[in-house]
Amino acid sequence: DTAVSQTPKYLVTQMGNDKSIKCEQNLGHDTMYWYKQDSKKFLKIMFSYNNKELIINETVPNRFSPKSPDKAHLNLHINSLELGDSAVYFCASSQPLAGQETQYFGPGTRLLVL
Amino acid sequence: EDQVTQSPEALRLQEGESSSLNCSYTVSGLRGLFWYRQDPGKGPEFLFTLYSAGEEKEKERLKATLTKKESFLHITAPKPEDSATYLCAVSTSGGSYIPTFGRGTSLIVHP
């Protein structure tokens, strides 16, 4: 009965490869997010989708492409991986209503690019 | 530009030694301030949401307070299991609901 789940938990890959991370939430939320957390623990928003539509796209290289097949799923595909992409990627969800903006996070995907 | 600053960056306490973590913010209009706890290897876990100055919320040994410029997370008689990184985030009125996070305070409580 995990609220927000991500797969895989660990991802080790070579530079130049393409990889995907999947996220699913069973909270019935309309909004989902991808965050990147660097080695100093700073959480930086990458993308936000509301009901399958992209609403926030921060300054992220276009090698990163999110896709939301339905409002319960948000996947992240990364092309041509670079060393600097190594980080922990968190998926989160929330309901975009006043008083309900609390975000619920997944367990994270630890990406290491060699 | 919205800013969220947490201090101290790291804090070491002895078990039972009460203290406070600070989150100061500069935003155009506060919609809500959030506190999260993050354990190593896990995602942030929601603790509290505060909406207006003067509001307080408590949970076990934690108490969060809010003024117009900052929030405090008071930890009373901490235990080793309170060791974690505590993250503060703010969302602003008139914009998206996406909060801006601070860089966190890493708390270690020694037995």
Residues A19-55 pLDDT 10s: 999 999 999 999 999 999 988 788 999 998 888 888 8
Nearest one of B63, B65, B78 to B18, comparing CA atoms: B78
Residue B96's pLDDT is what?
65
CB-nearest partner of B43 from A42, A55, A90: A90
pLDDT at B107 over 80: yes
Residue A1's pLDDT is what?
63
- CB count within 10 Å of CB A81 equals 21
CB-nearest partner of B46 from A41, A98, A102: A102
**Do the Cβ atoms of B97 and A43 come within 8 Å?**
no
Chain B closest CA to A43's CA: distance in Å? 6
Residue B17's pLDDT is what?
97
H/E stretch holding B83: none
For residue A102, list chain B residues with Cβ-Cβ distance below 8 A: 34, 46, 49
Residue A95's pLDDT is what?
85
Which residues have C-beta within 8 Å of that of residue A52, sequence separation ≥ 6?
A: A68, A69, A70, A71
Identify the weakest region by mean pLDDT among A46-55, B52-61, B64-73: A46-55
